[in-house]
A and B are shown apart, each in its own frame.
Chain A
């Protein structure tokens, strides 16, 4: 398995020897690390990945996230995390990881009758 990093919000990108990534983005960006941004909307229950950005450090990443991703009044809370700190599953492992759940329909709660007075199910 090659080394895999989360890059630019597009999921896992292999960075092993078989996929050369030259020139290295970090060098071009003068070592500003890549951050992934998660925003919780006004009525959202959890933080949702909205994109990525470059920032010199954690605190400035919050400022940049605020300026880039909450311009239209979207958010009430922001998380930023260095992309390098995210461990992502590899596209190579897609079948072993996810295919086995594909035929197990009984894991969905679709065999219950929903009472009439339970809204929003």
Chain B
């Protein structure tokens, strides 16, 4: 029996956190983390890399948020909201890290001085300054396609962040360690849905397969490293996305086969587009919604 489980210990501990019925027990994953940039690491590269990972999280969070008030079940709507909030938290930390090494792009031309770096980067950068990939930018489609995209995106991100826990940048390592727990849940939740939709009714199978067929080509934009990623990976700071391709493929193939879904042909890697700031009109539209209020009322608080 653990010490927390004895009656007297439990009662004696009841006063530690004041009057909260359940206790709070929240902890700051970045508390006490040294924010010094490691020797030999280029600040501009580190900031650019943080934007890549941060923008993926920010854009996918916004896509998931679009289901709020529209999800097929209230329970699943809350699940999407929770996952989006996890991703938004990751984006906030990563954009703040980019700001800490003065990678702010043109955002400061629009954002007033009182706006924190991470908000300036999120709300006042133009689409061509975003470094997210097509995988997270594509529209949601139906619930089946949304779940398949979430499975793919969470599997890729989990594989990257799991390796990033060993980064020489202590801030990236701490952000990754926090994110791994979150992404494990995102991936497993999506996988549970894909299994049920794929191996469910004729209609759910048809929609899940259509989702897979729509999402798979987006993988072409995910695994090609940019020069920034190559340099930082060589310096022990970043993860070369090409390194996670085999693991991602194994996980996705296993889930799809168990779900009785056909695994499409794996797309050939294309030169980086999203990571190079090349995006389709769907990102412009998404950012219009995300940034509209902040740009209209830059000093607004609520």
Contacts and interface: CB of A to CB of B under 8 A. Distances in A.
Contacts of A72: 22
Interface residues of B, number: 27
A45 interface: yes
A56 B200 CA distance: 11
B270 interface: no
Interface in A1-58: 32, 41-45, 53-57
A120 B78 contact: no
Interface string B180-213: 0000010001001100100000000000000000
Interface residues of A, number: 25
B278 interface: no
A41 B23 contact: yes
Contacts of B220: none
Given A67-B82, A72-B22, A56 B14 contact: no
A54 B71 CA distance: 14
Given A41-B22, A42-B23, A73-B22, A54 B75 contact: yes
Contacts, number: 57
Nearest to A53: B75
A42 B189 CA distance: 24
Q: What DSSP secondary structure best describes chain B's contact surface? A: helix
B25 interface: yes
Contact of A74 (B11, B22, B78): B22
Given A73-B26, A120-B12, A43 B4 contact: yes
Contact of B5 (A32, A45, A120): A45
Contacts of A84: none
Interface string B49-87: 000000000000000000000000111101100100000
The 6 closest A-B pairs by CB, nearest first: A64-B75, A74-B22, A67-B79, A41-B22, A120-B11, A43-B10
Interface of B: 4-5, 7-8, 10-14, 21-26, 73-76, 78-79, 82, 185, 189, 192-193, 196
